[in-house]
């Protein structure tokens, strides 16, 4: 097994970090306090090609391989402190672009991917409903064929990018009696009649990412916007959730590395009892724990990346990466605050924001409990 990166891969990651540090310089404190979407940051990322890392050149993307993509995303998390922006990009990439890339017809790919890859269109997906959260396949939104259209009716919750998206993948059932086999996926544009953004959902973290409740009220979707076949929604979802789960926290590896470096610097310079606090074993052990978590989380991410790059199914590895990275991110934020003492508790240092952002990762793309359940099932339990 080879853990080294080649020169080109290292250069791409360094370029992403440099881009973030020189160009993504919006005032994150203000944006996050006002729960404002970082539209300038989004546009700059689009121009750079961040949303097109995986997309083939034919559709205007950079066509990087899977491992190089996650390495670049790690750089994005290291360089950019706006986790809300990164989360919006991740939802756009893994929950919208990737399913179109995998299941779209040539016409659908040509119509949507070039603009999604440049960030000119914003994407998302809507599967969760008031009564269908973790038990996602119990969704009740219906789709009915009427001539050359489908009519969608239902209510969707927690849709990342919901209010600002131009294109949402909506999962609905053609026939609730058919259970999972009735689920079908549709490409819904925001201007389709009956597509209603109901309410912006205010949240504790990732506040620059917009989240909304959506209503579909006889929403008219052309038959050409079926993604995959009728009844293939479960296959579309389970394929894309594997990728989403495994990779959605790639940028968090970079974030954890940045936090660790910040904490090491602080522990070396902050003096108490006439010595740097890093000399106290109880402080040093927190830093070692942060380092151990970072490296273990990184290994799980790379292992999953390698499995996907080699075309293997890795549902359990996706759950393991998601579970471990999210829990590690939360714990490392707690440690970072503790190491900084009272200063860590202050808003201006940004660590409490990092913690609030990290906590969301235990919930989206399947809660930590659901990841435990998946791993247990793969262990034959
Ligand atoms: C920041 C954020 C972004 C999101 N973005 C999107 C999006 O873009 N699109 C979208 O469709 N959805 C999105 N979601 C929704 C997310 O996928 C759901 O919140 C999640 O799947 C959990 O569903 P729920 O909130 O209904 O909780 P529930 O399913 O009601 O769970 C409540 C509690 O019960 C536990 N639980 C449930 N079932 C089990 C079980 N079998 N075993 C053990 N424990 C269990 C859960 O772990 C949790 O602790 C987002 C959520 C968040 C927080």
Task: Please tell me if the CB atom of residue 131 comes closer than 6 angstroms to any atom of ligand 1.
Answer: no
Average pLDDT estimate for 317-338: 98
Ligand 1 centroid to residue 319 C-alpha, Å: 14
Q: Which of 330, 314, 315, 320 is nearest to 296 (CA)?
A: 320
Tens of pLDDT, residues 37-50: 999 999 999 999 99
Residue 70 above 80 pLDDT? yes
Between the alpha carbon of residue 268 and those of residues 157, 197, 277, 283, the distances in Å are: 45, 50, 7, 11
Which of 84, 164, 214, 363 has most ligand 1 atoms within 8 Å of CB, for mutation?
363
Q: What is the pLDDT of residue 302?
A: 98
∠ Cα 214 220 225 (to 5°): 95
CA 80/CA 254 separation, integer angstroms: 9
Residue 132 above 90 pLDDT? yes
Q: Which of 164, 169, 148, 160 is nearest to 216 (CA)?
A: 169
Q: What is the pLDDT of residue 1?
A: 76
Instruction: Tell me the β-bridge partners of 149.
Output: 146, 222
| Three-state secondary-structure class, residue 247 | helix
Q: What is the pLDDT of residue 157?
A: 98
Q: What is the pLDDT of residue 27?
A: 86
Rg (CA), the chain: 21
Active-site option among 32, 213, 244, 257: 244
Locate the ligand 1 atom nearest the alpha carbon of residue 132 and give its number.
26
Provide the b/e sequence for 166-182 (b: ≥16 CB within 10 Å): bbbbbbbbbeeeeebbb
Ligand 1 centroid to residue 111 C-alpha, Å: 32
H/E element, 289: helix 281-309
Q: What is the pLDDT of residue 200?
A: 86
Q: What is the pLDDT of residue 266?
A: 98
Q: What is the pLDDT of residue 21?
A: 95
Residue 252 above 90 pLDDT? yes
Provide the b/e sequence for 361-370 (b: ≥16 CB within 10 Å): bbebbbbbeb
Locate the ligand 1 atom nearest the alpha carbon of residue 127 and give its number.
11
Ligand 1 centroid to residue 244 C-alpha, Å: 15
Task: Please tell me if the CB atom of residue 245 comes closer than 6 angstroms to any atom of ligand 1.
Answer: no
Average pLDDT estimate for 138-162: 97
Q: What is the pLDDT of residue 49?
A: 98
Task: Please tell me if the CB atom of residue 171 comes closer than 6 angstroms to any atom of ligand 1.
Answer: no
Residue 12 above 80 pLDDT? yes
User: Is there a catalytic annotation at residue 14?
Assistant: no
Check if the beta carbon of residue 356 is closer than 8 Å to that of residue 329.
no
User: Ligand 1, atom 26: nearest CA belongs to which residue?
Assistant: 133
Q: Which of 74, 73, 85 is nearest to 41 (CA)?
A: 85
pLDDT-derived band of residue 268, with 50, 70 and 90 as boundaries? very high
Between the alpha carbon of residue 95 and those of residues 3, 22, 245, 343, the distances in Å are: 28, 28, 10, 37
Residue 111 above 90 pLDDT? yes
Q: What is the pLDDT of residue 26?
A: 78
Q: What is the pLDDT of residue 135?
A: 97
Which of 131, 133, 204, 376 has most ligand 1 atoms within 8 Å of CB, for mutation?
133
Query: 34: Cβ–Cβ under 8 A, 6 or more apart, which residues?
Result: none
Q: Token pair for residue 306? A: 């390698």
Tens of pLDDT, residues 335-366: 999 999 999 999 999 999 999 999 999 999 99
How many Cα atoms within 13 Å fall on the side-chain side of residue 299?
A: 7
Check if the beta carbon of residue 256 is closer than 8 Å to that of residue 78.
no
Q: Which of 166, 269, 164, 159 is nearest to 203 (CA)?
A: 159
pLDDT-derived band of residue 188, with 50, 70 and 90 as boundaries? very high
Domains of the chain with CATH codes = 7-122 (1.10.540.10), 124-232 (2.40.110.10), 249-378 (1.20.140.10)
- C-alpha 134 chain-centroid distance: 17
Locate the ligand 1 atom nearest the alpha carbon of residue 124 and give its number.
8
- The residue assigned the tokens 């391989």 is 65
State the average pLDDT for the chain. Answer: 97
CA 320/CA 330 separation, integer angstroms: 16
Task: Please tell me if the CB atom of residue 170 comes closer than 6 angstroms to any atom of ligand 1.
Answer: no
Task: Please tell me if the CB atom of residue 334 comes closer than 6 angstroms to any atom of ligand 1.
Answer: no
Check if the beta carbon of residue 78 is closer than 8 Å to that of residue 258.
yes
């Amino acid at each position: 097994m080879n853990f080294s990166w080649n020169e080109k891969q290292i250069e791409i990651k360094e370029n992403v970090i440099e881009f973030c540090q020189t160009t993504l310089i919006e005032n994150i404190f203000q944006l996050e306090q006002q729960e404002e979407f970082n539209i300038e940051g989004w546009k700059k990322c689009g121009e750079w090609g961040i949303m097109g890392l995986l997309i083939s050149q034919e559709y205007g993307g950079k066509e990087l391989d899977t491992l190089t993509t996650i390495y670049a995303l790690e750089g994005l998390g290291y360089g950019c402190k706006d986790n809300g922006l990164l989360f919006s990009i991740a939802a756009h990439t893994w929950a919208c672009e990737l399913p179109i890339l995998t299941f779209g017809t040539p016409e659908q790919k040509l119509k949507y991917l070039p603009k999604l890859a440049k960030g000119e269109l914003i994407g998302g997906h809507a599967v969760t409903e008031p009564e269908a959260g973790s038990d996602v396949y119990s969704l009740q939104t219906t789709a009915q064929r009427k001539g050359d259209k489908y009519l969608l009716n239902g209510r969707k919750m927690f849709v990342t990018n919901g209010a600002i998206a131009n294109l949402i993948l909506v999962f609905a059932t053609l026939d609730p009696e058919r259970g999972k086999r009735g689920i079908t996926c549709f490409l819904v544009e925001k201007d389709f009649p009956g597509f209603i953004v109901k309410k912006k959902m205010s949240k504790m973290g990732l506040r620059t990412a917009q989240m909304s409740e959506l209503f579909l009220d006889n929403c008219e979707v052309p038959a050409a916007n079926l993604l995959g076949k009728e009844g293939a929604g479960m296959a579309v979802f389970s394929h894309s959730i594997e990728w989403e789960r495994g990779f959605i926290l790639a940028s968090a590896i970079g974030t954890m590395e940045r936090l660790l470096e910040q904490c090491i610097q602080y522990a070396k310079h902050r003096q108490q009892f006439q010595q740097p606090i890093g000399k106290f074993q109880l402080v040093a052990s927190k830093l070692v724990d942060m380092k151990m978590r970072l490296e273990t989380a990184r290994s799980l991410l790379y292992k999953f990346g390698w499995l996907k790059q080699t075309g293997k199914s890795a549902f359990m590895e996706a759950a393991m990466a998601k579970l471990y990275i999210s829990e590690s991110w939360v714990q490392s934020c707690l440690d970072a605050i503790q190491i900084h003492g009272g200063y860590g508790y202050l808003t201006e240092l940004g660590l409490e924001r990092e913690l609030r952002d990290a906590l969301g990762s235990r919930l989206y793309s399947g809660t930590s409990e659901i990841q435990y359940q998946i791993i247990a099932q793969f262990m034959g339990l």
